[in-house]
Homo-oligomer: A and B are copies of this chain.
Amino acid sequence: VTAASGPPASDHLRRLLYRADGAVTGDMPVEVVIPDTAEDVAEAVRNATAAGLSIVPRGAGTGLSGGASPLGRAAVVSLMRLDRILDVDPDNRTALVEPGVRNLELSRHTRADGLMFGPDPSSQSTCTIGGNIATNAGGPRCYAVGSTTSHVLAATVVLGDGSTVEVGADYADPIGLDTRAVVVGSEGTVGLVVRALVKLSPVSEATRTVLCAFARLQQAGDATARIVRSGVNATSIELMDRTTIAICENFTQAGLPLEAEAMLLCEVEGTDLTIGEELADLERLASEAGAYLVQVAESEEQATLWWRARKGAFGAVAQLASNYHLHDGVVPRTRLVEALERVQEIGRRSGTLIRLVAHAGDGNLHPLIPYDGSDPEQSERVHAVSEQIMDVCLEMGGAVSGEHGVGVSKVHLMDRVFSAVDLEYQGHIRCAFDPDAVMNPRKVLPSPPSCAERIVPLDSEMWV
């Protein structure tokens, strides 16, 4: 493959490495291409499709839904070598980046200008802006700042025929039909983002991390509701239950309250003058909800350690067993505790240990189920439990969240969030960009009808 400057893609070990993302093992890729430039990406796409292969894009491979896992005869196109921060414009608060730039690296780079990239997935030290765009990634702060789609102004996208299209406009809110928003969250099914203009957000003058411990899960939910309604400038409200606290503490020795039934980890922002009032308000609200402990991090080190404990929850669970199943459901914020209690009940009834983590501020729950994937009985039980949890979210008027992507592992749930007609129009859009269905096929949307069935009738003269 001439487009790749790396070693030959036929290398077995490399193909093995690119067979799975963080959780889902796919088919062995026919080839792996690691281009250096946008032009090489386009050439790699042309070469691969000419060879009859489909295209599976890959960033850091931290996804957990199989978006980057190959299916069928596929070429994996890694975008990790397109890793330059091309421009930072502090006055207009934008950065022009290549897709392989790591999330945290961008925020570190712009910190000197008092700016940061808003979304902060737990994998932010590893995951890339391209991957964030592909999955419309969230993170603790997204409760306050919205998911990735609110932070992307424009992008350059390589399509399945190797051509390039620009979506969005540099200094304007979207005008025309918002092709930019179609690309964000499409997990490579529309095209490969090879350059993006992203918004940067101001870093607050003062930021504090607060740990609130509760004897009952219900109290943590109540505190969340009070904080959200109060107008306290909490930019993150993260919930962990007793079992998750235990493994995270064991993993990081961060000093988490092992005796608590639930805890909230909150980030509060303000100015040096206002932060005291914000903290006092938060403390009062948490106490009113029944917190027996409200502790403000005494140093940046302590705050960092607490956040490392929270953001390391998946890693900590991963150490418990050979496999783990991650849910990514969302319910109306007001019904979060009810949802979590029902998930706990499902765990008790089925004899399955379910560890609860949630972006409480936006009703996004992440139950984690460690299990031994080599044991068919365990795998089957976890699968059944998983379906029950998703039923709970959907019954409560919630949805499958897209925070970790739909990929392949949640694609069968899409027709419970959307009607057949709603999905059909999503499929129409996909066909418009990828008529030959070569871009990450069988991801995101459930078994779409053939693009050929979507031929437009010939009596459409009104356009001309």
Contact = CB atoms under 8 A, between A and B. Distances in A.
Interface of A: 54, 89-92, 114, 136, 138, 142, 146-147, 149-150, 163-167, 169-182, 184-186, 189-190, 202, 204-205, 225, 228-229, 231, 270-271, 273-274, 277, 330-334, 363, 397-403, 406, 414, 417-419, 421-423, 425-426, 428-433, 435-438, 441, 444-445, 447-452, 454-464
A177 B426 contact: yes
Contacts of A334: 89, 91-92
A448 B462 CA distance: 10
Contacts of A418: 166, 169, 176
A425 B165 contact: yes
A459 B444 contact: no
Contact of A178 (B182, B451, B455): B182
Contacts of A182: 177-178, 181-182, 429
Contacts of A462: 54, 436-438, 441
Given A406-B175, A431-B432, A432-B431, A163 B421 contact: yes
A51 B185 CA distance: 40
Nearest to A444: B176
Nearest to A271: B277
A172 B398 contact: yes
Nearest to A176: B426
A450 B456 CA distance: 10
Nearest to A449: B463
Contact of A136 (B163, B169, B175, B425): B175
A445 to B, nearest CB: 6
B432 A175 contact: no
Interface centre among A142, A231, A463 (most CB of B within 10 A): A463
Contacts of A454: 432, 456
Q: Top 6 nearest A-B pairs by Cβ distance?
A: A181-B181, A175-B402, A428-B432, A437-B462, A172-B399, A451-B460
Contacts of A146: 150, 173
B147 A173 contact: yes
Contact of A456 (B91, B330, B332, B435): B435
A214 to B, nearest CB: 20
Contacts of A463: 437, 441, 447-451
Contacts of A436: 457, 459-460, 462
A443 to B, nearest CB: 11
A218 to B, nearest CB: 16
Contacts of A90: 229
Nearest to A225: B91
A202 B144 CA distance: 12
A171 B138 CA distance: 14
B451 A456 contact: yes
A165 B424 CA distance: 9
A172 B184 CA distance: 15
